[in-house]
Structures are given as structure tokens and as C-alpha cells.
Amino acid sequence: MTTGLIPGGQPPDPRPSDGLPQQRREQDGRAALHVDNRPRSSVITARAAASFEPLGRSVATARSFVRDTLQGWGFADIVDDAVVLTSELVTNAVVHAGTHADVLCLRTDDGVRIEVADRYPEREVPLQGSPASMGSPDREGGRGLQLCAAIAGRWGVEYTPTHKNVWFQLAVPERPVGTRAAGPSLPADLLPLADGRVRVAVVQIDRTGSISSWNEDAEDLFGYPADLVTGKPLTDLAAWPHTPGTSTGIAEALRLSRWEGSYGIRGAHGRVIPVYASHLRVRDTDGDPSTVCLLVRDHERAVLQTPSRIPASADAAPAGDGQNTDPFEVFIGSPAPDDLDGLLQRTVERARDMLDGDSAFLLLATDDETELEVRASTGLPSARQRFARVPVEAGPGRYGSARMPAVHEDLLAVPGAVPLLNGTGMRSVVTVPLKVEGRLTGSLGVAAESPGRYSNEEALRLQFAADRIALAVESARLGELERLRRGSLSFLVEASDLLAGTLDRDQTLALMAQMTVPTLATWCAVYTIADQASDPYLSYVLHEDEELIDGIKSLLSKIAPPDPVPTPGARVWSAPGEAAHEAALRSSMRSLGLSGGPTHQVASGIGPTLATAAAVGGETVVLPLVARNRVIGMLTLGKPTDEHFRQEILELAEDLSRRAALALDNARLYSERTAISQSLQRSLLPPELPEIDGVEVEVIYRAAGEGNEVGGDFYDIFPISDGAYGFAIGDVCGTGPNAAAVTGLARHALRLLAREGLSGPAVLERLNSAILDEGARSRFLTLLYGEMRPQEDGSAELKVVCAGHPLPLRLRQDGTVEAAAEPQPLLGVMEDLELYEQSVTLDPGDVLLCVTDGVTERREGTRMLGDDGLADVLTTCTGLTAGAVAARIMRAVERFASDAPSDDMAILAMRVA
């Protein structure tokens, strides 16, 4: 069932404006049946509607809907007739016709009109005077129209192309005119007893709470002359009792527009005299407010006391059943909803009906009681229904009255007294607090479109109901909060795992957005700040509807970014909504040919459109991304038009923003350090290989470890002088940055020393001394160094020194492989080295292969490739180019084991063409 209430005014009516039941004569010959064709000129003052599914239980639900609606309007006299007629008509629709039934209740100044529409217009109703029977009393169905004719004052049937509408109107019995309340005639002995002449004390209190007027009856009742008490605060004389559930004091009561109740006045004899008082707040000719207090002895309260209204059936317990009825069930009904939202919605609906209001609302207080959040409403625009927040401020100007009952007879006289009702057309309102153990937990209010509808009597009734439901509401709220916090913890744990799983900046931005949309917000945007001197940059935009992302991105790029304020917490940012509204308005005006714009329809594009305006038209908040005491960006969350964030969601978003900021900053630092590391590592690698006439050169280099471009292995080929070229391949003990540091030392020292004209052994001896000078940072180094000089006959002369390095292999054209040097001591161990060089001649077609131990020590379990395995692979490379030889060796090494290499590898192949 779906219901809606539209209080006040004349609602749009699809029927003809003259108010007559519609008559249609179409080709099929059907006609609308009606009984009364007089114009319906009554003004509709309230409207309630509900839709029921084609199920058997819908009939009982429809009866309850009509009964509750009419009782809420105060029309208990006609409830039974209306329920009987509605039951028959809804039965015809949902049971016999098998369609949905739409029930509409209209309140007018002279009665109630109820309409029941089904969606089976082909099911005709016989015309009056037709020989067809309208139904037999003995049949199960078909009695609805007969009952309408017998009970209703007016009724009729209307047809539309899709609906058949049966309506009836019931008149309200006449009530005495000019009588607000009256009691029966009583014998004299049953009348209230008064001691002599009834004295009514008239005391006037000025705006400061001091007595400004004290009449003779007050002097007689309390024993104080006027000149003795004038100017004294009333609180000096009043003995104010504690009122459970309200906590309203004498000072608060004097500020209310009306108040009625009991307290005590301490007389001149020192004893407290119980009095019954009626307070009225007035304003003098100078505009200063004051309060007029009428007081009588408490046992004479009948002189001033306003007679209580007869409680509605929903408010009073059934008489004579001999059982105690739970006041909570009397107000809410049974069974009570299991969920908080259902409980709050039923509460506002019952409160509205109880006080015959046009709307009602319920707000729950935040934990610090500084704000009230709208959680349920009825009869108000949808924009006011969910999670809008209003502050609780001291004083009567705004919501200061949230901590005690308050009655506003006319909101036009006190603009802004209830911010929630601004612009809704409501004139009078009564609000009462929800309190648990003296703590403000919420506020319940009922409003009407006409002024002066409510008095203190209604405030007391509503406060009584609020006291009965406050504990249940708080219990349900705490249960919901506990479930939300458990879900929040799970969400934050998962978010932390995802954010910790990457150090890529772009992926971190994407994760931030994907975790917030749609879980926390409808759309989000992430701004980043490179450094303190840079402006915020729009880095990422996401919306739950991908088609709107480009429009939002275009909109945000045209407005100034939010200020990077480091203050924690969410702050509202209104710029996107305002900009979208203005842009959509301009687009609409251009599409209509207004303001000098083109007369044709604006083409669709990625710019701001009506869809974009609706997407960002709700509440938008900004949360700072603070990491290491610096604002590195902003996380912007938004809702579509008229939607607000609830406080718990904002708190969760704040927790997420702290984790996301640290992850984003970690990704930034990692990216910066990776870039620095890669730049430094590239500086350790030699530049492009030189072109040597008659010699092919190919190098393959693989550093072990993720992110490493240079390790402990190195290579170099460089020109020396007079057509001679130096080449080297070495291996520093270990891997990573420490080994790479020695690599850079060795490579640059080799170039410098070789170009000084030193022989190969002298170059290595001086390099050995430089390594030992590094002290604790020194490392063992194996090195193969040689000088190559191409000859005119096409061969190449080599002088080689192999200091502890794997021996170079020579591949001849006939496929034989042999070592091209002898082993000598490695560098970085001993100070005095005796090294020598060996001469090798490479004939045309010969290949010299030099590798590091990462190649020969490649392992798979207990197997190792070794020098013999490398020689076997090289024998298969006869006739290949240097590049092909290096590639085949690397492929064989990779295939030898399934695991990734754990050591650096370098391959240097030189072939004489």
C-alpha cells in the first residue's frame, strides 16, 4: 500500500472544472452513471490517498486506512458508514475485478467525499432504469452500489480510458454553533465548592520576569500588598513543581504564548498556597511583551481550567475490558514496527491525526545535542523529509524551544521560529521534546495551515505521547546506530586493505572514488595539491551513472576549487549546486530562444545540462585530505537534488578520508622516490653502445629485484684512442643499491684510467685500490676487462684480463668453443695484485661471449647450468649474429628454471663480421 497526504487548498482534479460527474457517450455505447449532478463547490481542506494491491488482505487494510483518516479528521460520527461503503467498493475492485484499488479521501467544509477507483473500465455498471439487476443481497458481490444508494447522501460513477471511479459523499451531523465546550446540568450538591466569593488574582509580569501589576484579589489571596511585591521576580514567590518529562520551569512558562497548569505561591504567612493558573503572553502599546497571570485557589480551578477534549479512540484505552492498555501501543498501534524508520513514520502519522494537523515531523538529536536531523515527516515537501539538519540554539528565535514544549499560533508573526517549515505554507505549530533521562533525544512537531489551531492543551497531549515513545525511539536509534557502526568498521577494514594494496597514485585515486560511490555518496570528486604553492587540481570524478561523469567534470572545471582548509570534518560547499542551476537555466533559456540565444534546441554535449544540475543539486560536502600535517587534497562528496547526508555517513567519510589521505601521500612519496631511483640508476648504465667497424656488439642486461634497473652486474664498451675500444663486464658482490654504488665507481674509473693510456693490468690494479679505499662500503668485484683493436684483414686483436670473473668463451666458425682467458685474482680483497693480460685474435665469424655468474649459476633444484651448460648452448649458435647469440643464451637461461632469476645477469656478445 502506498499513501500520501496533501493538506489544505484545492488539489488538482482531472475531472471537469464544473465539478459534475463526467458523462461519456462513445462509440461503444457506454455511459457514466451518476446520481447527483449538482456542482461540487465545497472547498477541499485536506486530502488523503492510498493504493492497494489486488490481494484479499487489501480490503482490511483499506478499511483501516479510511477509519484512521476520518478519526484523525475528527469525523467519528460517520466512520462506520464510510468503512462499510469503502469495504464493499474495494472488494469489488481487488477481489472481483482483480485490479489495484486507489482510495481517495477528501475533507470539505460540509462533509467527506471518498472515491474508489479500479483499473478495469471495461467492467460496466448497469444504468439506472436498466432491466439488468444491480445484484442480489444473497450474492457475495455486487452490493456496493446498492449500499451507496442507501447510505450516502450523494454518489456516482465516472469512467476514464484507464479507470472506473465510484465516489460517495457523507454529510457531517450538525453540531451546536457558538459552543466550544459545555457540560450537563448538575444538582447543586455536585457543583464545585467555592469559599465565599471566588477571587481571581490578576498578576502581570514584565519582560524581565518581575511583577508589574498586583490586584486586590491577589492581596487578599496571598497577603502581600501591591507596593511590597511590585518589582520583585515572580520566582521569589512561586513554588514550581517538577513536571516529569517536560522540565519546564516558571521562567520558561512565562515566555510561552499560553500556559495553563498548577503550582504554588508562598503567602505572607510563609505557607505555600496551591493555585491553578492561566498565563497569556501579551504586548503593550510600546511593543514590550509581558505575561498576564490569572490565579485561583487550586480547588476552584473550574473557574479557569479549560475542559479537556474527549480523547480520540486512538488515544484512549477501551473501557470496560478490565485490562491495562500499554500507552505506547495506544499511540503507535500494534504491532509496533521493527525498524527505526517505520517506527518514526508511524509516529508522525499518528501525531498528525491525533491533533488533526496538516503535517507532522520528527527530528532526532545528534550525540552532542547541537543539531536536530529530520528523520520522518508527513505532509511536507520531499526535500524536508530526510536528513536535513537544523541547529539547536539558545533563545526562542530558532530551535531553542526544542528542549521544552512550544506553541506558535502564527509563524508569520515569528519568521524563522521553526526553520523546517519555512516556505511550506504552515501557519501554526506545536513542538515537544523527546527526552530520555533528562537528555534531549529529539523533537516531535505537528503543524497546520491555518493560524491559531493549537494551544497548550494540544502541547500537553502531544507531550504525553512523546513521553511514551521517547524510550522506544531512542532504543531503536541506538540499535540502528550499532548496526551502522558495525557496518562502518567492516567498510573501513576493507577500505584500508584495498588502499594498502597499492602504491600507484592513479589507482589510489580510483579506489578512493569507487569506495565512496555509491556507498557514501551519489558522486565524488578528488582534488590534489602538488605542493603548498600549487592550486588544487581536479584529479578524479566519479558518478554512479557513468553518463553524467563528463558533465560533472566539465562543471567542476569551470568553478573555483574549494579552499584547502586543514580543519577536520565535513563542510558544506554550495558552489557546484549554484553553478549547475545557473548553467541549466541558461541552457533552458537558450533552448526557448530567450535572452538573445539561438532559437534551436541546444545540442547535447558534455557541458552542464539539466541532468547534471539534478545530479549535483543536493548537499555537497568537502573533506580535507591531510597527511603528515599537510593538506594534499580534498575529497568532495555530493548528493542529487534535495538530498542530504546523514551525520553518521559524514563521520564515516571523515574516517575514510584520513586513511585515503595517508595512502595517497604514500603513493606520492613512492612515485617520487621511484622516479629518483630510476634516474640515478640510469646514470649508472653506459650510454648507447658505440659502432665498431667490422665488429657486431650486443648486450642483454637484467637486474634482479622489483623496480631495480641497475644491480651488482655491469658492462661497458667505450672508445679509447687510435681505433682501440675498451670493454668490460663485471659483478659486484650482492645486489641492490649498495652493489650499484660500487658498480658506478668501477665503470667510471675504468673509462678514466683506460683513457690515460694505462695497460689493462695497471687499470685493474688502480681500480682495486679505489675499491679498498671505500672502507666498510667496499665490495668484492669480479671483472673481465679487455681492449679490442680491429685489423685491416678483418680480424680483431684482443688483450684480456680476467680478475676472478667467469672466463670468456670463444666460438669458432667450425662450432668449437674454448676459453679465451685464464682466471686471475678478483678485486677488492688484496692490496697487492699481480695481474697480467692475454692476447686473443678473433677471426672473421668468431664470437666472443662474456657473461656474469648470474647466467652460469642459474639453478633448478639441485641442477645448475654451469660453464659446461653455457658452452653447450653456445655451440648451437654457429653462424648467428651477435644479437641472435645473446638472445639464444638468455632464452636458454630463462627456460632452465621456472622461478624468476634471483641474481643480476649481464650478457656481452661480440662477433667479428
| pLDDT 10s digits, 694-735 | 999 999 988 776 656 566 788 999 999 888 999 999 988 876
Across 487-505, average pLDDT: 82
pLDDT at residue 796, as a whole number: 93
Between 489-503, 517-531, 673-687, 887-901, the lowest mean confidence (pLDDT) is in 673-687
Give the pLDDT mean for 749-760. Answer: 89
For residue 316, the model assigns a pLDDT of 40
Residues 16-37 as b/e (b if ≥16 CB within 10 A, e otherwise) read: eeeebbbeeeeeeeeebbbbee
pLDDT, greater one: 39 or 96: 96
User: Which grid cell is 539?
Assistant: 584529479
Share the mean pLDDT of the chain. 79
Reported as a pLDDT band with limits 50, 70 and 90, residue 368 is low
Kindly tell me if the per-residue pLDDT of 842 is higher than 90.
Answer: yes
The per-residue DSSP string of 781-794 comes to EEEEEEEEEE-TTS
CA distance 781 to 731: 6
**772: pLDDT strictly greater than 70:** yes
pLDDT band at 785 (very low <50, low <70, confident <90, very high): very high
Q: At what angle do helices 456-500 and 340-354 cross, to 10 degrees?
A: 160
Q: Residue 626 in 3-state DSSP?
A: strand
On the question of pLDDT at 405 being above 50, the answer is yes
Nearest residue to 295 (alpha-carbon basis) of 219, 212, 406: 219
Q: How far is it, in rounded angstroms, from Cα 818 to Cα 838?
A: 14
Burial class from Cβ neighbours inside 10 Å (0-12, 13-18, 19+) for residue 213 reads middle
Note the pLDDT of residue 392: 64
Three-state SS at 158: strand
AA identity, residue 35: V
Between CA 825 and CA 699, with CA 732 as vertex, the angle to 5 degrees is 105
Which range in 65-69, 170-174, 639-643 is most confidently predicted, on average pLDDT?
65-69
Which residues are CB-contacts of 796 (< 8 A; sequence separation ≥ 6)? 694, 695, 788, 789, 790, 841, 842, 912
pLDDT on residue 601: 41
Mean pLDDT for the stretch of residues 176-181: 52
In 292-444, which ranges are continuous DSSP H helix? Answer: 327-332, 340-354
pLDDT of residue 98: 79
Greatest mean pLDDT among 60-64, 265-269, 595-599 lies in: 265-269
For residue 608, give the C-alpha cell: 552542464
Q: Locate 439 and state its grid cell.
A: 537528555
Q: What percent of the chain has pLDDT over 90?
A: 21
Most confident of 210-224, 398-412, 662-676, 733-747: 210-224
The whole-number pLDDT of residue 882 equals 93
**pLDDT at residue 165 greater than cutoff 90:** no
Res 93: pLDDT:
82
Task: Tell me the per-residue pLDDT of 195-206, one tens digit each, with 9 for 90 and over.
Answer: 678 899 999 999
Of the candidates 116, 119, 117, the one whose C-alpha atom is nearest the C-alpha of residue 99 is 119
Contact between residue 234 and residue 205 where contact means Cβ atoms under 8 Å apart: yes
Q: What is the DSSP letter of 93?
A: I
Output DSSP code: residue 824: B
Distance (Å) of CA 483 to CA 130, 339, 476, 477: 64, 12, 11, 10
3-state secondary structure of 118: strand
Which amino acid appears at position 606 of this protein?
Answer: I
pLDDT of 71 reads: 74
Q: Is the pLDDT of residue 478 over 80?
A: yes
Packing angle of the helix pair 736-754, 647-684 (nearest 10 deg): 30
Residue 174's identity, in one-letter code, is: E
Query: What distance in Å separates the CA atoms of residue 528 and residue 90, rounded to the nearest whole number?
Result: 61
pLDDT tens, position by position, 291-333: 999 999 988 888 888 765 444 443 444 444 444 445 555 566 5
One-letter amino acid at 100 equals: H
Cβ count within 10 A of residue 862: 5
Q: What is the pLDDT of residues 606-650, one digit of tens each?
A: 344 667 777 777 788 899 998 888 888 989 998 887 677 877 788
Looking at mean pLDDT, say which of 102-116, 152-166, 471-485 comes out highest.
Answer: 102-116
Cβ–Cβ under 8 Å, residues 319 and 331: no
Q: What span, in angstroms and rounded, lies between the C-alpha atoms of 72 and 75? A: 8
> Which stretches does DSSP call E strand in 455-585?
523-528, 537-543, 571-572
pLDDT tens, position by position, 556-595: 888 888 888 888 888 888 888 788 777 767 766 666 665 5
Residue found by looking up cell 502581600 in the block: 224
C-alpha span between 542 and 463 (Å, rounded): 46
Q: Which residues contact 559 (CB under 8 A, 6 or more apart)?
A: 575, 576, 579
892 vs 618: which has the higher pLDDT: 892
Q: With contact defined as beta carbons under 8 Å apart, do 800 and 808 qualify?
A: yes
Q: Which of 18-22, 184-188, 400-404 has the highest mean pLDDT?
A: 184-188
- Confidence bin at 387 (pLDDT 50/70/90): low
Predicted TM-score (pTM) of the model is 0.45
